[in-house]
């Protein structure tokens, strides 16, 4: 178990990928909420 954690150290690229993924998900969720709200109007 410890070998897996040691080999998986977070690099700047990994952090950037994580931030990009979270941003894309946030935009997608916001778009869905906006679309659902506009449908109800």
Three-state helix/strand/coil letters over 8-26: CCCCHHHHHHHHHHHHHHH
| CA-based end-to-end distance of the chain | 52
CA distance 20 to 26: 10
Domains of the chain: total: 1
Question: Residue 29 belongs to what domain range?
Answer: 10-40
Q: What is the pLDDT of residue 2?
A: 59
In order along its 41 residues, the chain shows pLDDT tens digits of: 555 555 566 688 899 999 999 999 999 999 999 999 999 86
pLDDT score, position 19: 95
5 belongs to a structural domain: no
Instruction: Tell me, rounded to whole angstroms, the distance of Cα 12 from its chain centroid.
Output: 16
| pTM (two decimals) | 0.62
Does 1 reside within a domain?
A: no
Residue 3 covered by a domain? no
SS3 state of residue 11: coil
């Amino acid at each position: 178990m410890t070998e897996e954690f040691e080999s998986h150290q977070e690099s700047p690229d990994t952090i950037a990928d994580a931030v990009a993924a979270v941003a894309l998900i946030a935009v997608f969720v916001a778009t869905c909420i906006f679309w659902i709200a506009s449908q109800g109007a």
